[in-house]
Structure 1
């Protein structure tokens, strides 16, 4: 470090402040120190830095080990959070955890991470209770039943469902189906996004005086095909389907085609909380309520790091709706079926 100090023309203490982040150093001086470190191929010792600052500058994104839940949209959350953490001189690691939170104590009490971001939140999530009891800084990507006292960022599923129905009702549709993942009997039962979407869908279709059916799909393409058969059995006259299950969308389209229905001529299909890239992998290309994954990932990282830096004022409560991207799978309702 002395060589870095000599090269930058600063004291050894100033180099330590820059390396460990323990005291403010002006941007100009920081730039000189950083340049000297690069010229001398200086590599900061993470362990020594942690001992000096009492922080590892590592944060963990906790993801449930139950089932195959890591989708392309989930990856966007993780990558954007990791990029933001790096921009703020932190490292983010993806850490699979038990849905009941039984292994959180080992992660947190070992001092490996400074704080955590919790994803795939359930209405009554035991992991939140464990984290609160451990007194570790955390932020949610999602909401529990009552998140008023918790820091969170989340998709505004209520607004997303309303906007979806606005689009389809504007095209003349009056008979709707909502397809969600079947999580009954699994560790992810009570998954908050599904319950919020289903509750809003039921209330909105009732208020609008239109017909609404909810179908729960199994895993993958085969689950989507079966969901198509089930929804047509429940409502043969359905003209519009909202699906919130990325891995089953292709199977749903196949199932509708096998039933002799054309998308979007006979039935419109709208993908919820997914990405344009995922929608473009289907035929026809899916109209999509695009999830604000990148912004929420960045905001979650900011919310947690602000807590760690002691710069947080009020608890962050951020809700962002999905944005409609119209493609080839939604059209005017058929005159008759």
Structure 2
């Protein structure tokens, strides 16, 4: 097995110099650094992770806690996970993905066994029992989501209230005097996931400003029958100028299909705005007018803050809550303004 001593011998430097080049903790001349890196490549040296962790008191691992439940939008989670992993690798860290719903015990296990240097938590409930435990851990924790009380933890998320306002503004400008929100799955509603109420508050406020009626169809079972029932109820409630908002990303395509199956064409007979990624909106037929979720921007910003928290010598971020502004992109499923 190749060791750092072998690298030092080939490069003609001390073993400590090899360590400094790899850790970046001391300034090393460009020439010496190149000799060390060339020796590492020549010998295909890989540092021992356990030894490095003992020396630095760091694991070089970020724990990502996201609960996978039946009916969860795993496709929607992928951009978050990809971006978090990419940001971690750019900082020479790996990601330990924890998907089991262990609650507070899972957080304690991660931190207590020194399995990671920091933790990213997703799937945050408005009143989340894990938050007080997370705030007491000795490792930095950042939330993707905004609970009612973050207990001093840093949070990053899309501005869901603004997303609700953007959706209603678009439908009101298209001349709709009644808007129906087709809501979330029973599990999401029951657990009171943080973004549900935030989106609805923004939508309600915008409807009030425009003087239009707004109604909620919820919960919506995550299957074809659930989407069909929700569409039937939305059309019965909506009147002639129906505007539909679907803040439940996995339901956007089933709702669109349920409308088409009834001979109702979004963009001609009704307007539909979905809360989903741009890629998902563009791939639909017809292409869906959407408010973007900005998963990569949210994840990137969360990781930037997390590594600032890990940098003991750096300046800590002062804002506890950072909201990424969403965008509305008009496509084929909304009527033109009258």
TM > 0.5 fold call: yes
Q: CA deviation at 1:150?
A: 2.0
Q: CA deviation at 1:237?
A: 3.6
Match of 2:96 in 1: 93
Q: Does structure 2 conserve the Cα–Cα contact (< 8 Å) formed by 1:221 and 1:249?
A: no
Aligned partner (choices 225, 235, 240) of residue 232 of structure 1: 235
Q: CA deviation at 1:160?
A: 1.6
Q: CA deviation at 1:270?
A: 1.0
Cα–Cα, structure 1 residues 178 and 69, in superposed 2: closer, same or farther, change >3 Å?
Answer: same
Cα–Cα, structure 1 residues 24 and 268, in superposed 2: closer, same or farther, change >3 Å?
Answer: farther
Aligned partner (choices 284, 290, 295) of residue 292 of structure 2: 290
1:192 partnered with 2:194 = yes
Q: CA deviation at 1:26?
A: 4.3
Rounded to whole Å, the distance in 1 between the matches of 2:226 and 2:154 is 35
Q: Does structure 2 conserve the Cα–Cα contact (< 8 Å) formed by 1:223 and 1:248?
A: no
Match of 1:82 in 2: 85
Q: How many residues align?
A: 331
| 1:47-126 equivalence runs, <5 A | 47-98=50-101, 100-126=103-129
Q: Does structure 2 conserve the Cα–Cα contact (< 8 Å) formed by 1:66 and 1:99?
A: no
- Range 170-179 or range 289-298, more displaced: 170-179
1:209 partnered with 2:211 = yes
- Range 27-36 or range 315-324, more displaced: 27-36
Rounded to whole Å, the distance in 1 between the matches of 2:84 and 2:257 is 35
**Counterpart of 1:214 in 2: which secondary structure?**
strand
Rounded to whole Å, the distance in 2 between the matches of 1:172 and 1:25 is 64
Aligned partner (choices 320, 327, 334) of residue 330 of structure 1: 334
Cα–Cα, structure 1 residues 332 and 39, in superposed 2: closer, same or farther, change >3 Å?
Answer: same
Q: Does structure 1 conserve the Cα–Cα contact (< 8 Å) formed by 2:161 and 2:199?
A: yes
Cα–Cα, structure 1 residues 214 and 26, in superposed 2: closer, same or farther, change >3 Å?
Answer: farther
* Runs of at least 5 residues in structure 1 that lack an aligned partner in the other structure: none
**Counterpart of 2:310 in 1: which secondary structure?**
helix
| 1:139-178 equivalence runs, <5 A | 139-147=142-150, 149-178=152-181
Q: Does structure 2 conserve the Cα–Cα contact (< 8 Å) formed by 1:220 and 1:247?
A: no
TM-score normalised over the length of structure 1: 0.90
Alignment RMSD (CA, Å)? 2.3
Cα deviation code 1:253-296 (max 9, x no counterpart)? 23223444221111111111x21221233221111112211121
TM-score normalised over the length of structure 2: 0.90
Cα deviation code 1:156-206 (max 9, x no counterpart)? 11112222222222222222111221335x696111111101122122212
Rounded to whole Å, the distance in 2 between the matches of 1:102 and 1:229 is 43
| Structure 1 stretches of 4+ moved >6 Å | none
Q: Does structure 1 conserve the Cα–Cα contact (< 8 Å) formed by 2:175 and 2:241?
A: no
1:302 partnered with 2:308 = no
| 1:23-42 equivalence runs, <5 A | 23-26=25-28, 28=30, 29-42=32-45
| 1:4-15 equivalence runs, <5 A | 4-15=7-18
